[in-house]
Chains A and B, each alone.
Chain A
């Protein structure tokens, strides 16, 4: 299956009639891992939720290439569930489903046989490193485990477009690295992968394209043009986060960035 690009232009979205994003433009291509970076409240979650069709928007947001491109707001919800998957930022789950039952809901938009579904569900659970928790109730998981359940649900859903809102916010460094490697592999298999991330060094190591978001003084977010953030360096990071960054060089000669330590 060929991947689905997601294109947006003049995109405007927000909550309750108040725009948070305005005049956003860009293209997210299959086979690339796109990182959304920017401070808290800069509109990353709003943008991802708009991509997922969860918010009303103005302007254009299309899924697919050329003549097959379709406006996201016109795609029926069930079909959208087969095309776009999202890992939300909110990790807490209130209903005491087992991990298996929660991940199985990723197959909800499809009509597969039970055996085929179970194979995909178990595979997704294994890839999210949750096999040992298969029958544990999701309400009894740690935040990091719950976050990986959400990731596994999207893996079981297996859509061409994956949107992840800070998918590693509750994970330890080892799990974080594994999730980024997983996202990289997904992108390499012609998926369109978009993740809002705070760990700039992992973003630099794994992502192909960066969009920087920043909230302007009028409360409307600004997004960098697609090619503007070709390379993240201390100067760019300082402009994005309004904090000085210093570079450090590892024993192997790799450069990483960290906020200035006093």
Chain B
């Protein structure tokens, strides 16, 4: 029989090779999707012209053409928004599923997204122009309520998901109530909640990427601790992880990412739920690589869904992700059921 160190080094080499292959596939997919999203649209602009317009060295005169505005202020922000938002939602899914060791955890199951939606709807009803801070406040309040309910009822992680479902139901009813009473803003709220990148402004895309910078590197930094926590109840504590502190930090980061996404583009479901499950068979359960791949894959799939939504006559992207993600997730579940 071969010795442990040899087996281990072979395994590490194979693992590195597999990750490189996955990264290569993902990069190709990202480049293709980006190319598709930047060159296709209502205006037909030749790809060579698009590339020239994206160059940072384009001249002043060139940048004031209508084509330049379409590419640089409409298509590029829309692509970047979809990539960043999908990445944020997927990272949120990975973090929450690890932290709560619940395979169904994502921003929606924990009531975070419903909180953001309620906060944002409140902002709309109050006629504010920028609803993201309202969404973030809503997400934090929902998170706080979930923590308090879970802590008061025993403190276990199973209770967090239960409390999340309760808060989610309550706040969803709250959103419906707001829709009912905010007659004049009903259209705006409904449209916003359906989720779409069609109006993504350069500012919104910058906001999303600021949230990415604020939340993804810290999540990666605490990835090893997340590994320990995901092994089981109190396993993190036994291995020197301050579980309570880790939970507070990571849940706040996830809320920030979710709130920015929901606040800018509305509800985009299933991305955070499906992407981690899609990747685990290829990447494995270790959180550091999983977080990076989830970010890229989530972004890529969301940009793809956004493209599909646009080509189907500006459907809400949330409808596309739910219509594709729902059955897909069922398939994943069924396949897993067969394997066990």
Q: A52 touches which one: B11, B238, B242 (CB < 8 A)?
A: B238
* A109, B5: Cβ atoms closer than 8 Å: no
Give the size range of A's interface with the partner: 35 or more
> What residues on A are CB-neighbors of B237 within 8 Å?
52-54, 77
Q: B8 touches which one: A52, A81, A132, A134 (CB < 8 A)?
A: A134
How far, in Å, is B19 (CB) from chain A's closest CB?
A: 14
Given known contacts A88-B235, A108-B241, is B8 in contact with A16 (CB within 8 Å)? no
Q: Interface readout for A98-123 with B: 1 if CB under 8 Å, 0 if not?
A: 10111001101100000000100010
Q: B230 touches which one: A95, A100, A122 (CB < 8 A)?
A: A95
B325 at the binding interface (Cβ < 8 Å) = no
Given known contacts A16-B154, A94-B230, is B239 in contact with A81 (CB within 8 Å)? yes
How far, in Å, is B199 (CB) from chain A's closest CB?
A: 40
Give the size range of B's interface with the partner: 20 to 34
Q: Bound state CA distance, A106 and B237, in angstroms? A: 12
How far, in Å, is A145 (CB) from chain B's closest CB?
A: 15
Q: Bound state CA distance, A76 and B286, in angstroms? A: 25
> What residues on B are CB-neighbors of A86 within 8 Å?
238
Which residues of chain B from 70 to 100 have a CB within 8 Å of any chain A CB?
Answer: 98
Q: Bound state CA distance, A157 and B154, in angstroms? A: 30
Which of the segments B41-49, B221-229, B259-267, B295-303 contacts the partner chain? B221-229
Q: Interface readout for A15-59 with B: 1 if CB under 8 Å, 0 if not?
A: 010000000000000000000000000000000010011100000
Q: B240 touches which one: A81, A100, A118 (CB < 8 A)?
A: A81
B7 at the binding interface (Cβ < 8 Å) = yes
A82 at the binding interface (Cβ < 8 Å) = yes
* B228, A108: Cβ atoms closer than 8 Å: yes
Q: 22 interchain pairs (CB within 8 A)?
A: A52-B237, A78-B240, A88-B234, A96-B285, A97-B231, A97-B284, A97-B286, A98-B284, A101-B284, A105-B228, A105-B235, A108-B224, A108-B227, A109-B240, A125-B4, A131-B4, A132-B1, A134-B4, A134-B7, A135-B7, A153-B239, A157-B239
* A80, B5: Cβ atoms closer than 8 Å: no
> What residues on B are CB-neighbors of A243 within 8 Å?
none
Q: B227 touches which one: A52, A76, A97, A100 (CB < 8 A)?
A: A97
* A81, B234: Cβ atoms closer than 8 Å: no
Minimal Cβ-Cβ distance residue in B for A135 = B11
Q: Bound state CA distance, A153 and B227, in angstroms? A: 13
* B238, A54: Cβ atoms closer than 8 Å: yes
Q: Bound state CA distance, A146 and B4, in angstroms? A: 19
Minimal Cβ-Cβ distance residue in A for B152 = A16
> What residues on A are CB-neighbors of B240 within 8 Å?
77-82, 108-109
How far, in Å, is A84 (CB) from chain B's closest CB?
A: 8
Q: Bound state CA distance, A118 and B284, in angstroms? A: 19
Minimal Cβ-Cβ distance residue in A for B225 = A108
> What residues on B are CB-neighbors of A54 within 8 Å?
234, 237-238
How far, in Å, is A56 (CB) from chain B's closest CB?
A: 12
B218 at the binding interface (Cβ < 8 Å) = no
How far, in Å, is B250 (CB) from chain A's closest CB?
A: 16
Q: Bound state CA distance, A82 and B241, in angstroms? A: 11
B233 at the binding interface (Cβ < 8 Å) = yes
How far, in Å, is A192 (CB) from chain B's closest CB?
A: 16
How far, in Å, is A169 (CB) from chain B's closest CB?
A: 16
Minimal Cβ-Cβ distance residue in A for B240 = A81
Given known contacts A78-B240, A125-B4, A134-B7, is B101 in contact with A94 (CB within 8 Å)? yes
B217 at the binding interface (Cβ < 8 Å) = no
> What residues on B are CB-neighbors of A52 within 8 Å?
237-238
> What residues on B are CB-neighbors of A81 within 8 Å?
238-241
How far, in Å, is B153 (CB) from chain A's closest CB?
A: 10
Q: Bound state CA distance, A101 and B228, in angstroms? A: 10
A126 at the binding interface (Cβ < 8 Å) = yes
> What residues on A are CB-neighbors of B4 within 8 Å?
122, 125-126, 131, 134
* B285, A95: Cβ atoms closer than 8 Å: yes
A93 at the binding interface (Cβ < 8 Å) = yes
How far, in Å, is B26 (CB) from chain A's closest CB?
A: 21
How far, in Å, is B202 (CB) from chain A's closest CB?
A: 40
Q: Interface readout for B278-294 with A: 1 if CB under 8 Å, 0 if not?
A: 00100011100000000
Q: Bound state CA distance, A86 and B231, in angstroms? A: 14
A85 at the binding interface (Cβ < 8 Å) = yes
A92 at the binding interface (Cβ < 8 Å) = yes
B187 at the binding interface (Cβ < 8 Å) = no
* A94, B232: Cβ atoms closer than 8 Å: yes
Q: Bound state CA distance, A108 and B225, in angstroms? A: 8
Q: Interface readout for B4-46 with A: 1 if CB under 8 Å, 0 if not?
A: 1101100100000000000000000000000000000000000
